[in-house]
Homo-oligomer: A and B are copies of this chain.
């Protein structure tokens, strides 16, 4: 959905004006397009590109040293007029003639073609290269009928580099045609785009389906299929292009292009699979790009473009360029790092404890067996509770953390570690494996608790109580949560206070712990009455609805299970 505009019919021209204002270091606005704002040597071949708007960074985003000299922009998805093309060309011409590059669409072929005739009549030598990279739009036998999609970037990059290198117009035209013949693309669409002011998308793809062979003007695909996982999608795209691999090609340039609403991280995921397939095919990838280079407003989909390299094309593909979107060459000189990364946290080592300490450590390990079992039993329930407030991953995270803690506790105990070290190891493992907020809180809670214990003495009730208080203090201070903030603190405070009171009253730890667990349970249930204050905001609709906090509930569950184990 295109949402931001004033008058829809002004969308393209206003966007171009905004672009020119933001990127004045690269471009100057002219009626219907932009030309370089930086000096261009007299006699250099001018590379002028263009087409409809709605495809940013195509085409204005490619203007700059090493790439295009100017870009012409029509209305959204509409070819620029003949007069606009001619006008921009006159501004960009430096006496060396003009190479006109554009995607192979009827409107562009006409307007750029007629403009070229007009300019020739004025004595300017103009050559035309329509980009025809889309293998889905016509057969390999009739390449001239193919449309231009993300291959535009590749072909224009080569043309721009050749012109910057000082080649003659004849040579720039030859190299550009050669690049176009060696550039192939194939894409898929997951959802259509909506023109400014339009109430519905130009086309739709059924839920769960993808359209193969997308166009970039809201043209749907040639065929629809069910959406597949990233690795299958990579194979679908790569195979289609590898079928046209010229004999003897060992190196390729590549562009993995997002159409607008298919995001960078999705493209990076897809790239890992594409890169593997190209390697499998014995191809070395040179200077690949993954991002949004030829978009279709907010269309959802992507395309893969390959440039079959030879020495000449590789020279121009990797040549420096400096434009708003594509850069080759460093803005700051650098040297490769020489140090070796040690991707480890260091091997775990524990001070060997006394026999009493070892027994305490083994006891802690057994308790984590109970905790882990509790949380795995409660994983779904905790997820359901959390889903009412957050993204519902609390049960999963707690189960993952408890498993890691159990493993670490057992390993530490097996290595002869004492009570404190085993508990600390369990806490660190919990935090590292669970991640997120609850992981950090539990890691902190357990590590602080451990600091009150002794590796070389039996577990004493007083030490356990001191540890509980330390745990509460550290969680409160680092987490910044207070009672009523609807976090685990709501359940931890009554637990610790009850534990302290009961032990102070001379009760044995198991009984005191059982009472503390009951107090935390009551508090956790009571969080339903409170309004959330901390952590991720609740959806508007739920702001006013109270519900138990998953963190408080899971803590009270753990407390109860441990009570049972101690009793």
Where the two chains meet, the residues of A that have a C-beta atom closer than 8 Å to any C-beta of B are: 1-6, 11-12, 14-19, 21-22, 25, 28, 30-31, 35-40, 53-54, 56-57, 61, 65-66, 74-75, 77-84, 86-87, 91, 105-107, 109-111, 113-114, 190-191, 195, 202-203, 210-211, 215, 217-221, 224, 227, 229-231, 233, 260-273, 275, 288-290, 292, 295, 297-298, 300, 302, 320-322, 327-332, 334-338, 341-345, 391, 393, 428, 431-437, 439-441, 443-444, 478-481, 534-537, 539-540
Sample of 5 further A-B pairs with CB below 8 A, known A78-B436, A110-B437: A15-B266, A18-B268, A38-B337, A91-B341, A261-B298
CB pair B320–A332 under 8 Å, yes or no, is: yes
A413 to chain B, nearest CB (A): 20
| A4: chain B residues within 8 A (beta carbon) | 230, 233, 262, 266-267, 269-270, 302
19 contacts across the A-B interface (CB closer than 8 A): A1-B261, A1-B300, A3-B210, A16-B268, A22-B271, A37-B336, A38-B334, A53-B265, A54-B265, A56-B268, A78-B393, A81-B433, A82-B431, A111-B431, A111-B440, A202-B391, A220-B537, A264-B292, A265-B297
A338's contact among B39, B229, B540, by CB below 8 Å, is which? Answer: B39
Chain B, Cβ-Cβ closest to A329:
B331
CB pair B75–A436 under 8 Å, yes or no, is: yes
Q: For the complex, what is the distance from the CA of A130 to the CA of B345, rounded to whole Å?
A: 25
| A1: chain B residues within 8 A (beta carbon) | 190-191, 261, 300
Number of identical protomers = 2
CB pair A432–B83 under 8 Å, yes or no, is: yes
A337's contact among B37, B264, B536, by CB below 8 Å, is which? Answer: B37
Q: For the complex, what is the distance from the CA of A328 to the CA of B443, rounded to whole Å?
A: 41
Q: For the complex, what is the distance from the CA of A115 to the CA of B323, rounded to whole Å?
A: 40
CB pair B83–A203 under 8 Å, yes or no, is: no
A96 to chain B, nearest CB (A): 15
Chain B, Cβ-Cβ closest to A274:
B18
Q: For the complex, what is the distance from the CA of A129 to the CA of B300, rounded to whole Å?
A: 36
| A336: chain B residues within 8 A (beta carbon) | 37-39
Contact (A337, B40) CB under 8 Å given A75-B436, A437-B107: yes
| A480: chain B residues within 8 A (beta carbon) | 106, 109
CB pair B331–A327 under 8 Å, yes or no, is: yes
A382 to chain B, nearest CB (A): 16
In the A-B complex, list the 6 residue pairs whose CB atoms are closest, starting with the nearest. Answer: A18-B268, A107-B437, A83-B432, A110-B440, A38-B334, A4-B266
Chain B, Cβ-Cβ closest to A112:
B440
A537 to chain B, nearest CB (A): 4
A334's contact among B39, B83, B262, B537, by CB below 8 Å, is which? Answer: B39
A18's contact among B272, B334, B342, B478, by CB below 8 Å, is which? Answer: B272
A407 to chain B, nearest CB (A): 14
| A539: chain B residues within 8 A (beta carbon) | 203, 220
Contact (A79, B436) CB under 8 Å given A14-B272, A341-B30: yes
CB pair A300–B439 under 8 Å, yes or no, is: no
| A86: chain B residues within 8 A (beta carbon) | 345
Contact (A5, B215) CB under 8 Å given A56-B264, A107-B437, A439-B81: no
Q: For the complex, what is the distance from the CA of A480 to the CA of B269, rounded to whole Å?
A: 41
A24 to chain B, nearest CB (A): 10
Q: For the complex, what is the distance from the CA of A207 to the CA of B247, rounded to whole Å?
A: 53
A205 to chain B, nearest CB (A): 9
A314 to chain B, nearest CB (A): 17
CB pair B106–A479 under 8 Å, yes or no, is: yes
A13 to chain B, nearest CB (A): 10
A505 to chain B, nearest CB (A): 34
CB pair B215–A22 under 8 Å, yes or no, is: no
